[in-house]
Every structure is written in structure tokens, then in C-alpha cells.
Structure 1
Amino acid sequence: MTLGVESMPTPAQQHPPARPVLIAHPDSDTVSQYDGWLPDYCTAQSALCGREAIEKHTAETSVAILDEGLAECCAEEVAAKICGTEASTKILSTRTDPSQSAAGKRSVFDDTLASPIAEADFRSTVESLHRRATYDKLLGEYYTLARERATLESKTLTPGSQEAVRYTEVISELAELEAALERALADFDDADYRAVFEVVLA
């Protein structure tokens, strides 16, 4: 699979696979507003406090939007819990003071929006994080299958055996994931590429 910078395709006008977005904010009206701003291909999970946000988060959640005013568990605690899972979820912080966004938060937040938040900024940020989360999820699945392929290739496979059949399935699944990764990269813009490579080089 070739995923180098030089071979990256130009952005395509297509949407990434639908996955839920978690909106955690103490104000229900703001939750409803953010829900209305989500891209059509995203479904919303809502939470009014940090503890509820942790309970609502799943491995399928692509983006978690965490407000600084969350009670019970603060946004940083919720983010740390999410980062402690194997989920590919990207985390967006919403806050009132933009100067606080760079104060030790880079390790837990993938992006930050400060009030007042415009719909266009909110939507484009969520779309970018959703694309990156989709790519990370696919890449994780690819590496898991690649390890399984390596394990099977280290053995002597008898034609028709269960392991031989599984090897054929793995090869097919890897090809499908390679195609899906190429499609995911085709949706990337320059900011997405920078964010991905910043993580790789960190």
C-alpha cells in the first residue's frame, strides 16, 4: 500500500462513513444548536455533564466535543478517559478563553474553538476531525490485519485448512482496507495532512 505524500490523491467530493459525534455541554440549548450544525452524515450523541459524556462515548464515536464548563468530570478528565481507550475519537474543546487552549492541552485536545463560535467554523472543524478519525480507525484495522497476515505467513499452511482459508480472507480484507484508506486520503485537505504528520513525527 502506497500512502506517501507524493502519491496522495487530490480531494474528492464525497463524504466519509457515517459515525456518531458526541456533544458534551452543560447547556441543552447549545447541545441542540451544535446538533443542528453537524454535517448531514453525522449523528449526535448528547451529554450534559462529564460523567454522562464518558458513559455515552463508544469506540464508534468519531468526534467528542467537550465544553470547558462540564460538571462532575471536567473536559480534560473526559478527554483523558477517551484517550485511554483504543478508539480513534478526535477531541474538540470549546471554551470562552482562547488563550487557555495552548496551556498544556495539546496532549488531550485535537483542536479548540473559542466563543463566540460561528457555524461555519464549527462545521469545518468537525468535518476535519471526522475525516482524521475515520482515517485513523481504518489504519488501525489495517495494521491489525497486517499483523495477522504476518503470523499466518510464518506458518506452513495446508491447502484447505482453516488457517489457509483465513489467510485468503485476510488478504482480501487488506485489499479492501487499502482501497478505503486511499478514499479516506482523497477527502483530506492540507490541514488534515499536516495534523496527521504532526502526530506521526511527534
Structure 2
Amino acid sequence: MSEDAPVVLVVEDEPDLADLYAAWLGDEYDVRTAYGGHEALDGLDEAVDVVLLDRRMPGLSGDEVLVAVRDRGIDCRVAMVTAVEPDFDIVAMGFDDYLVKPVTRDALTGTVESLLRRGEYDSGVQELFALASKKAVLESEKARTALESSEEYHELDDRLGTLRGELDETLEELDEHDDFDLAFRDLDRGNDTDDGFEF
């Protein structure tokens, strides 16, 4: 691992699981571990590129840590890695991706790679990625009837359409690069509905 390796902060209150994630990522990244929310905030600085964040932790929850990360203005990508099944409250949350435990090594490493690619784009495109991720995870976890009756889901879908329209020219430029499709590969996971987000 080079000195310039991206920094990944693993925040998980189960030390064995945090250490496992760190072992999976350690060959490619500079991995820091925090075994709780307060420890995570103590170890969070501008050097951190990606945060892998558990939601349900004693003391300071992952949701509270996420708010603090965004309030501090730290420019990092955040993935929730949690046993908490996503509900429509995730639409308003400031994360970039959502993984439901148990997660595989491939899913975890693929998510970190994707988040690092997303960080190379401007804020509008980053928001598009985050919203598309939320839509994909909701579609993979919720029944169609629940989606159709959710005001939050419809607002998310509308925002995606608006943002995509605003970014059409940028998206055309990105689509010319081979790695753009790679950045969206995680959005297809488990999405069995017909109205998935497409480019």
C-alpha cells in the first residue's frame, strides 16, 4: 500500500466485525477503525475519503454521526453498513450508499471503489449517484405497493428526474468514459422492478 492510498474509516461497534472489514480493505487502503460513534468523530478529519458507518450503535448512533460528518463539511463519501433494513426515512439522510448486513467482501470492496470514483465528480453528479443509490436500495427492499404509496419515494423519483435533466450534458460527457458504467454497477443490485433508474 502506498502512502497516497485513500483513507477509509470503518465505524462499527462490534470490534471483530470492524477488524474483519479493515482486514478486507487493508491491502488497498489506509484503514482506520472506530468502535463507536464518539471514537469515529474523534478520528474524523479532512484526510478521510470514505466512511463505512454502522447505524445502530450505543452512545452515538450512526445517524447522529452522519449528521455530524455533514455538519463539519468534511468532503468524504459515506456508506451505511448496517443490519437496519432501509425505510423511507433514508431519503432525507445524507449518505451516499447503503449496504444491508451481512455484507460480503466483494460487496464491501466494490462499494468503496465506487464511492471513491463518485468523489471525483462535481456535487451535482454526486447527488445524482446518492439519490440513485437510495432509489435502488428501496426498490430492492420494499414491495411495489409500499413504493407506490410512499410520498418520500415519489419525491425522490421526481428529484432524480429533475436532477438528471439539469445534468444531461454532464452525463453525456461522463458516459463517454468507460469507468462511468462501473460507478453505477452497484445500483443494479437486487433491483427487480421495471422502473429502476437508468441512463
Q: Same fold (TM over 0.5)?
A: yes
Matched, 1:41 2:45: no
Counterpart amino acid of residue 97 in structure 2: D
Pick closer, same or farther for the CA change 1:52–1:186 going to 2, 3 Å.
Answer: farther
So what's the TM-score if we normalise by structure 2?
0.58
> Contact 1:96 / 1:114 at 8 angstroms: preserved in 2?
yes
Higher relative contact order (CA closer than 8 Å, sequence separation 6+) = 1
Q: Any idea what the Cα deviations from partners look like across 1:55-91, whole Å, max 9, x if unmatched?
A: 1011110111111222221111111111122322111
So what's the TM-score if we normalise by structure 1?
0.57
Match in the other structure for 2:64? 77
Q: 1:28 and 1:85 mapped to 2: Cα distance? A: 26
Cα displacement (A) at 1:29: 0.7
Counterpart amino acid of residue 20 in structure 1: V
Pick closer, same or farther for the CA change 1:123–1:97 going to 2, 3 Å.
Answer: same
The answer for unaligned runs of 5 or more in structure 1 is 1-16, 138-184, 196-202
Largest Rg, 1 or 2: 1
Cα displacement (A) at 1:103: 2.3
Count of residues in correspondence between the two structures: 133
Give me the identity figure in percent.
Answer: 26
The answer for unaligned runs of 5 or more in structure 2 is 124-175, 187-199
> Contact 1:28 / 1:48 at 8 angstroms: preserved in 2?
yes
Counterpart amino acid of residue 27 in structure 2: D
Cα displacement (A) at 1:136: 5.4
Q: 2:61 and 2:122 mapped to 1: Cα distance? A: 26
* Segments of 4+ moved more than 6 angstroms: none
> Contact 1:39 / 1:123 at 8 angstroms: preserved in 2?
no
Pick closer, same or farther for the CA change 1:188–1:37 going to 2, 3 Å.
Answer: same
